[in-house]
Structure formats: C-alpha cells, structure tokens
Structure 1
C-alpha cells in the first residue's frame, strides 16, 4: 500500500505543525503544507524529511493558492488521500455591532470559504485515491466557540459553526465517493492565538470570559499542540466511516488510540 498523501493548512506553527510532525513520524505519510509564512520550525521539518515534505507558500483565503497547493502535491507525490484544514484567524475581534465591515469578508474567506477553496480542486483526487476499504479523509479544525458565544468573537464563532455545517453537508454529499469528513474541537491550546487573546482580549472581551483564558495560562492548563495534533493526525489516517459528518472533541474516547504519548 502506498503512503498516505495529506495537505495540512496553517502548518507553520502550533497545532498545524504538530499535526504535520505526527503524520510524518508516526504514520509514514507524505505531507504538503500550505501556509503564508515558512517558519524556521517548518523549514526544519522539511529538512528532516526532504523527500516527504512539500511546502507551498500561499494564503488559504485565495482560491488560486489552494488550487496550486493541490496541483503541486499531486505532481510531487502522485496522489492525494487527505486534507487537514487547520488555518484560521480570530480577527476581527470586536462586538458585532461595532466591527469594521470591510473585515467581514476576509474573515469568512480564511475561516470558512477556504474549506471550499481547497476541497473543490482536491475532491477529484481524493475520490480517485479512495476505496471502501481505504477511504480518503478531510479533517476540519473547528472550535468550542462554534457551539458557544464569547463577546468579541462573533465572526470567528459564526464561521466555525458554519464549518461544522459544511462538514455534515460534505459527508452527506460524498457518501458514494468514499471521502470522509470530520470537524474537530481542539480545545484551548498553547499557541500564538492564545497569546493574541491575552494581548488584545482585555480591551474587547467580557472580563469574566477573558479570565478563563488568563487562568488557564497562569495555571499551566493550556493543552500542548501535540495533544490535539496527534488525534487530528490519527483521524486523517484512520477515521472510521461511521463517524463521517460529526463534530467531535479531540479528547473523545473513540480516538484515544491516537493520543500523544509522553
């Protein structure tokens, strides 16, 4: 059986980088990444696996960059068996009654429409690589905010709720194509996004909601990227067909086999 070939968006740091590392080290996958910035950490990973990593510089909010990532991946590795759609942004942070209207579309392009921008050019390749015994898999990174509400997170929360809806719809539409879809809540992870919340949040978030994130950080309770990252990578390799279309928590016991081991 040939090695899995998976595109990971937003892999330059944090959860995305952890997912890429796990796919390479634990699952023998070939990995293509799509990101705006080629960080030293991602470059080091590419140097460590020179024949198995393809880095594509681009912006997930641009359809042409997504299509180029798919084309280059298939050209290098010969197939495409999965996607992990991890890229996202909290911006614009602010009350919905006050947020700048010119920031709405860019936010939706990055957090929601980017899924369509890459699934559309990828789907024919995913179908071609899939079979009932070995389906292709698309994992969309969602958020607990998709089913809740925080002051100033309105655009992010709405987009992530829509990501869950897209996941259900994709799964319903691809039942005959052997392509599975899953939306995953990664928990509160120690990433640059959390640093941004601590920096900007006190000026726009409700104090009681802001305190949750401050206390998690001060108490050393933020998840490490490897924790949800290892589960998401495992789902990209081995998600069972009966879970397709679900929105799940990374700590769901059904996925315990893929949890990062110290």
Structure 2
C-alpha cells in the first residue's frame, strides 16, 4: 500500500466498513465517509487506530455535490495525497415492481448510486492523473451482481443504477489508462449486510442462499479482499476489469 490515503465512501457499515478495516490493517491511511451515523463511523476508525492504522471520518452525503467537493477539499487539507478511491456508498429502497416506481425514488437512487460516484471519480482524477501533475492512483467502484441479474420484482432501479456504474467504470478506465490511474469494479452478490433491511427484507440473504451455487451468502470481508487487491500494486496491470464476488451466481 502507498503512503497516500484512500477514500472509502459509505465506510461506516457493511462492505464499506470491511474495506476500510482491511485497508487499515494493510497499513493504508483511510478516510471514510458517512451520511448520518457518526458513532458507527467513529467506531470503525477507532478499530483501525487500535490495530495501529490511521483513519479519519468525514460526513458527506453522496447525493449532494457540495458535500463531495467539501470531502475532497477536507482530505486535501487534513490527509494529504489521495492515492485511491472506493466508490462504495449506495442506497436501495423498498422492494417493488417497476410499475410501482415513482420519479422521486428514481432521482434518489440515481443521485447516490450513479451521480455521486461519478463526481467522486471526477475529483479523484483531477488529483491523481499524471496529466494534472498527479502521481497516479486506483479507483474501485463497488457495483452489484444486480447489474447482471436485473433484480426483477425487487429493485430494478437499483440494478439499473449499478449497470450505469459498470458502464462508467469501463469508460473511465479507458479514458485514464495512460494517466497512471486504474479503474476497476467489484460486483458483490448476496452479502450479509444491513442494506437488505433498508429494502424491507432483513433475511433476504438467508432466503436466497440455498439457491446459490455455493449454497451460502457472502461476508463483507470477502468482498473487501477483492477491493484491497485491486487497489494494490499487485493489480498493477489490471484496469477496466470486473470481479464478481457472488458465490457463482
């Protein structure tokens, strides 16, 4: 891991917290963002520090462009050089069919899941690109197996937002490949996180697990391992790539 810092959006819980913790254990300086739960973010930071790492928490709503700009300005002032970005923050709403969707829900989901990561990537590229005097870096977008599967009857809007993120991943990777920046994606499948409760079915992974090829749901730490590898120099010739962490689905 490099001497700069890595920003992990949505780092107070679930996959984001696992990624931040794994990076901290690997000796990486971490800046994690949260939207509401400061206590949860502080807890993740405290665990990283207790293990000998360095971590900060910054409040930033990924649906607000001003928050995103302020996040990067804060990191510039307090944490220094940015060498990595993990676009992890995302939302989903209550399970429903497509005919029950409304415009406000779609705006909320797309604002956080598509526009937010794109604006974060914009800010990261401005700092990391050798074309702007930067030293390069790595961006990892946390997508979802839903981008491939479509999430019918549950979250077609969430799935579509992750499909857009996949397209952005590929396009940005090609755009900045010769500017020292690698851009990749991890697509988790059915992972045990609190996000399923947000959709109205806390036990969703347990329901689906028997139908998966591996017969079980995944853990956030298993996703974090793929993210950490993609950020590292061990993946130095990998860009525009998608790693499915989905138990075979």
Q: Distance in 2 between matches of 1:169 and 1:23?
A: 26
Q: Indicate the residue corresponding to 1:99 in structure 2.
A: 101
- What secondary structure, in the 3-state scheme, does the structure 1 residue paired with 2:201 have? helix
Compute the RMSD of aligned alpha carbons: 2.7
> Which of 233, 240, 250 is 2:235 aligned to?
240
Q: Indicate the residue corresponding to 2:69 in structure 1.
A: 67
> Which of 215, 222, 225 is 2:217 aligned to?
222
- Structure 2 CA distance for partners of 1:33 and 1:199, relative to 1, 3 Å: same
- What secondary structure, in the 3-state scheme, does the structure 2 residue paired with 1:163 have? helix
Q: Indicate the residue corresponding to 1:32 in structure 2.
A: 31
Q: Give the unaligned 5+ runs of structure 2.
A: none
Could you list the per-position Cα deviations for residues 185-225 of structure 1 after superposition, in whole angstroms to 9, with x for gaps in the alignment?
12211101233446389xxxxxxxx7x751428x9922121
Could you list the per-position Cα deviations for residues 49-91 of structure 1 after superposition, in whole angstroms to 9, with x for gaps in the alignment?
2882121112011111111111111211220001001111122
Q: Displacement of 1:249 after TM fit?
A: 1.2
| TM-score of the aligned structures, taking structure 2 as reference length | 0.85
Could you list the per-position Cα deviations for residues 219-252 of structure 1 after superposition, in whole angstroms to 9, with x for gaps in the alignment?
9922121111122122222363432112221379
Q: Indicate the residue corresponding to 2:201 in structure 1.
A: 199
Q: Give the unaligned 5+ runs of structure 1.
A: 202-209, 253-262
| TM-score of the aligned structures, taking structure 1 as reference length | 0.81
- Corresponding residue pairs, total: 238
